[in-house]
Amino acid sequence: MDNPQTSIASTVKALESTFGSRWGIWLSDTAHWWASRRGTLSAADLGVGCVPFLRADTPEELAELIQEQEALCPPDPTAGTGQPPAAGTPGEASA
């Protein structure tokens, strides 16, 4: 018999890996799947509809919502690499 906790942990690990660990994933005690961004959102990100938290009924639905969010706010290519973002051109404003 499969251990439900092991199955949940495997699903969480798979989802987090799929999205480059940019999202923290968990199943709440109310049986909803949640994701929270591990990065910050700018005012511009919020203005185009990006959100810090997502809620879904299934892991598949959560993955779709994350994909939609990442299409709105593409992930920073340096996120999670431990490398600082490349410096802008002199005279250019930084974000």
61 in a structural domain: yes
In the chain, the percentage of residues whose pLDDT exceeds 70 is 78
22 in a structural domain: yes
Q: How many domains, in total, are found in the chain?
A: 1
Alpha helices of the chain — where are they, by DSSP H?
4-18, 43-47, 59-72
The count of other CB atoms within 10 Å of the CB of residue 64 is: 13
16 in a structural domain: yes
5 phi/psi in degrees, rounded to 5: -65, -40
- Are the C-beta atoms of residues 73 and 50 closer than 8 Å to each other? yes
pLDDT digits (tens, 9 = 90+) for 51-89: 999 999 999 999 999 999 999 999 877 655 444 444 443
- Domain carrying residue 13: 4-72
pTM over 0.85: no
**pLDDT at 90 > cutoff 60:** no
89 in a structural domain: no
84 in a structural domain: no
- Are the C-beta atoms of residues 40 and 49 closer than 8 Å to each other? no
